[in-house]
A and B are shown apart, each in its own frame.
Chain A
Amino acid sequence: MTALEPVIGLEIHVQLATETKMFCGCRLSFGDEPNSHICPVCLGHPGVLPNVNEQAIVYALMIGEALGCEIAERSTFHRKNYFYPDLPKGYQISQYDHPIAVDGRLGDVRVHRAHLEEDAAKLSHKGASGRIHGSGASVVDFNRGGTPLVEIVSEPDIRSAAQAREWAQLLRATLASLGVSDCNMEEGSLRVDGNVSLRPAGSDELGTKTELKNMNSFRFLERGIEAEIERQRELIESGQEVEQETLHFHPDDGSLTPMRSKEYAHDYRYFPEPDLVPVVPTAEMREAARAALPELPAARKERYLTELDLPEATAASLAFQPELGGFFEDALAANSDATPRAIANWVTGDLVAALREQDLGEDPYRSKAEPREIAALAAMVEGKQVSHSAGKQILAKLAAEGGTAAGVVESEGLAQISDDSEIDAMIDAAIESEPEAADQVRSGNEKAIGRIVGAAMKNSQGRIDGGLAREKILERLG
């Protein structure tokens, strides 16, 4: 039997970080009291008309440019008609055959299209109700209804769950660098759905695809797609058919269950939205969007590799994790004597570890450490003013309590010991405290020197240079 190859495409909904909604002047809301940001327009009252938010257009153009898309000369809105309580007008205003951007590429995956639309409201199950007997009731909160969304659809160029995760991370980094969205997967401002099918490796045809929803973290995205690939593989290998359906991912146990259809007859009856006129991006609008683009993650990684000489993995994590990259850039800008590589190592290594330890997520700005102090610390270690292990202590202190690196060195007495006689005394004490190891070194087993160096470091609280200590021990025992 020929091997089966996964074919994966992603659909990403990005909530735009505008002040107000897509088609009305209500503020966007985050966890506010239900139905506190509503008006006749976003409630679909009789007689109201939609009114396009200019900033949403600007953001959509920036996204289109950042993804290397062709910007449509003329872009229009359609109505997508279906009944659901989270859809106040009975239709969603969305772009259909003339999206604002098409045919782009990000990394190794092509972008099919990016289009503007409005978000639905939030429907929550309320449980049994006295009035609506028997079946329970739901309550609609229209705060989210009408939030501007850009939907980005990739081509089915992805071949593994891991690649899907990596690409989604790159896309998130790209969007975050534009400042057009909060890009928070847990809060739903970035929602990634996957389309998965399998086909015999090397075939050009596409198999029946399923759509995966509710994977609200990168980890779940990878796990969900992996699970679906396995599920489809088992079906096909046992001679069964894959059914075209939408599956809901359950983070708690990683299972996938079919979602109930919103309409018992699917027919969205798209037609051009008569209440809105076409968007025709002018040369000025497009130029402004391009000018507003910052350095994009893919380019930033390239620069880190070639200009700053960072290792591949470090460059990628700084370039694709916008908060980390921003912190790194700020540290670089502090103009310390440290090399970029040294700063990068402190940021991606010990600082990230400190964040994890303090449960601060992935944003280094949430720790107490200032970027310029991390740069100063890197410079001190490189200049051998403090030892590497002292550096680790300083970083932990900075992350937890803030302050300056120099201040921590001072208060903790972590400055490298430069007085030779003091060092010699400490080396002698260390040899004395490890007589067994000293004997082994004398008889030619150099490996045992580690224990003596360790003791010297411990006694000095890391204030002597490890290399220097080693040299001096060998001198004495050689």
Chain B
Amino acid sequence: MTRSVAGLLVAGFGFGVPNAALSQETDRTALTNARIVTVEFGVIESGVVLIEDGRIAAVGANVDVPTGTTTIDVAGHTVYPGMVDSGTRLGLSEVGSDPRTQDFRENGNLTPHVKALTAVNPNSVLIPVTRVSGVLTALAEPTGGLFPGTAAFINLHGYTPEQMYVEGSSTMVMQFPVTGRRGSFDQRSDDDIEKASKEAMKTLNDMWDRAHLMARLESVYEADPEMERTTEYVPEVSALVPVVNGDMALMIVVNRAADIEKAIDWVQEREVALPIFSGCAEGWRVASKIAAAGIPCIVGPVQSLPTRASDRFDRAYANAGLLHKAGVKVALRTGESENVRNLPFHAGFAAAYGLGKEEALRAVTLNPAEIFGVAEHIGSISVGKLANLFVADGDPFETKTSIKYVFIEGHNIPMESRHTRLYDEFLNRSR
């Protein structure tokens, strides 16, 4: 294909080009002579990762590679589990300023029955740009009202949202009522702010009580299938039933110190079975309280400003490390869409400012898998898990490190994106 035709494809058919043309010679691939950072079981200085049917079939220094296996010698390089971003808009937003391409915010304060997964666009141009950086799984997260919907982990390859979905990762999102002023643009009076906060808590508690009632009714119906069902159709309440039953995690978006303390009390009073805090910008202020409550925190974006003008300049960088030191289980989020690819840099900053490299790696691999209850599928290089992994020529967070291979559910993903294609076309453009 000539350069100019390639250019036409890039420029003209961005939405239409499938995001990966996959190699599928065999369903068995071995990465050999690899340094393997398993995250869960230490480092293997030289070994083999055997991938079969999309999952990791064997890992170790001595692995028998069956004949007929596609073998890739990665000597000198390191294999890492795919990085996981625990809070993004990936797949839900294409062009930031264009509302027609944004699907992360549904109207309404109480929409727990909407699902981010529904709106994930598998052909988003942003997805290949992200995965070639080693970020292979992202939480597609709705935002908006008190209950904006369910979030879900998506693996960054697939032709349908279902193919991308990490089984069992659906998580209810709650935006904990924000007390106090939201920022300098918030011109409400103190009284109005107080009133709004009280109203929001009442709405939250009413919803929770109704969900409990619904759960009890449903358990009664379940016990006696003959009984006539008389409950109304209240989808927003029904959506919360798995949460109050403890079958689904509740991810509570909360940032200010005072709100975090209130959220801890609320979680304990309401006996929330699987609470997760997300955002946690001022988590460092109340770290020991969060640790005592045993609630894991999704922290980030790391590269952000301190929340208060009076705060030390590096508080956002240091937050994850301070929480970890206090005993809080930490995972990281970018909060991004087009630049989810920067997750390793957020992790690098967190590492440098106190979290340490090893914990930072856990915070973007195994920790989120465990926090969201999907460690059987993702988060480490371990037999039986999805073959989500990447091969790098160095430290995965170091800026200039080059990613050589990416595997998502065993697929050897082309290391291409709009960004690489434009580079290839224009580096030595004809005049």
A interacts with B:
no
Interface residues of B (CB under 8 A from A): none
Residues of A in contact with B (beta carbons under 8 Å apart): none
